[in-house]
Amino acid sequence: MRTLRYCTVLIICLLMCAASGCGYTTGAYIGPYKTIYIAPFKNSISIASAKSEFANYTSYYPLLESTITKKVVERFIFDGNLKVVKEEDADPIMKGELTYYNRSALGYAQNNEDVMEYRLTLTINLEFYNNRTKETIWRKDGFEANTTYFTTGALAISEKTALDNTIVELARRIVESVTEAW
């Protein structure tokens, strides 16, 4: 009887410990803000003036700035430290500007003509300002994320998949820079 009682208490304690969880976090946000508004990113890339070493234009994906905005909002929601709200309800506002998109060759096939590996780079400018006082809290120009990808072989992926990976990485880095700035 005593053993049964001991086992019951032990099982209850173990269940309570398991239910409380042991979540992993990189750090607690201790900043002064509770909400944030992410303004739609602006696209400042001039496609007409962009040149590459291979053509008079650079490959480009339409509505890239909208995709970046969406992924940044999703990442803030996933992170949970700041609640994404409408502009009039936000403590700070984040504005972003897409300034650079580049795909450059990294590795060639043996014939030295066919590209086997590329680096994809996205660069943005960020401004984080107080919605109440309209003062800039911080600004970062040249905020960058990049991905390398192969066009052939077992590790081959499309440029679009590499771009999606780069945007996810960019959104992660943006949220970390905001929540870890305090």
Question: Domains in the chain and their CATH numbers?
Answer: 33-179 (3.30.160.150)
Measure Cα distances from 172 to 135, 144, 154, 158 in Å: 25, 12, 27, 21
Measure the CA angle with vertex 181, ends 45 and 169; round to 5°.
45
Pairing of strands 136-150, 115-130: antiparallel
116-170: pLDDT as tens digits: 899 999 999 999 999 999 999 999 999 999 889 988 888 899 989 999 999 999 9
Q: Is the pLDDT of residue 91 over 80?
A: yes
Mean pLDDT of 67-87: 96
Amino acid 41 reads F
Determine whether 3 is exposed, middle or buried from the number of CB atoms within 10 Å of its CB (0-12, 13-18, 19+). Answer: exposed
Q: Is 167 helix (H, G, I), strand (E, B) or coil?
A: helix
Identify the band that residue 22 occupies on the pLDDT scale cut at 50, 70 and 90.
very low
From CA 141, how far away is CA 88, in angstroms rounded?
Answer: 26
What pTM does this model have? 0.77
> How many CB atoms are closer than 10 A to CB 97?
18
Amino acid 83: pLDDT: 95
